Amino acid sequence: MSSLPTEAITPLSSALTHLNPRQRLENTLAQLATTNTQLKNADTSEREISAVELIEPIQRINEIMRPHGLEFELSEETSRVITRVIDRESGEVIRQIPAEEVLDIAERLEEMQGRIISIEA
């Protein structure tokens, strides 16, 4: 349930036995705040994943999910993951998320944003 490391929780119980309930609460909250800060710092030190690094995992997911009628694709233009629900018998696309129209609109908005920036410059 909790994603806190057990070593952060264990010292709390032994150190809190001589404190009154309010002091225990304050001490526990202070300890959890320190642990939370440490977790946030660990998250920010992680690097971003590039689109190239996603290709292989998406291919492995597709191998497993295609028999169930699901297919995933990484759009080269936008680096967005496209999900398709496919009829297993006919191979016809039943639903695509995001839809082609939405992808077209997003592409046009990005083009317009580039034009607006160059006009203002």
**Mean pLDDT over residues 87-93, rounded?**
92
Domain boundaries, position 81: 51-118
Does residue 61 lie in a domain region? yes
* Identity of residue 102: V
CATH number at residue 78: 3.30.160.170
- The answer to whether the CB of 71 falls within 8 A of the CB of 60 is no
Does residue 8 lie in a domain region? no
Q: Which of 5-9, 10-14, 33-37 ranks highest by mean pLDDT?
A: 33-37
Does residue 11 lie in a domain region? no
Does residue 22 lie in a domain region? no
**In this model, does residue 19 exceed pLDDT 90?**
no
pLDDT reported for residue 9? 47
Does residue 31 lie in a domain region? no
User: 76 CB contacts (<8 Å, ≥6 apart)?
Assistant: 51
**In this model, does residue 120 exceed pLDDT 60?**
yes
Q: How far apart are CA 6 and CA 33, in angstroms?
A: 15
Question: What does residue 82 show for φ and ψ, rounded to 5 degrees?
Answer: -110, 130
Does residue 14 lie in a domain region? no
Higher pLDDT, 97 or 11: 97
Query: pLDDT by residue (tens digit) across 22-63?
Result: 777 777 767 766 665 555 555 555 677 777 888 889 999 999
Does residue 45 lie in a domain region? no
- Which pTM was predicted? 0.50
For residue 84, the surrounding DSSP H or E stretch is strand 81-86
Does residue 30 lie in a domain region? no
Q: How far apart are CA 17 and CA 57, in angstroms?
A: 49
Average pLDDT, the chain: 76
Work out how many domains the chain is built from and give that number. Answer: 1
pLDDT reported for residue 84? 94
- The answer to whether the CB of 95 falls within 8 A of the CB of 85 is yes
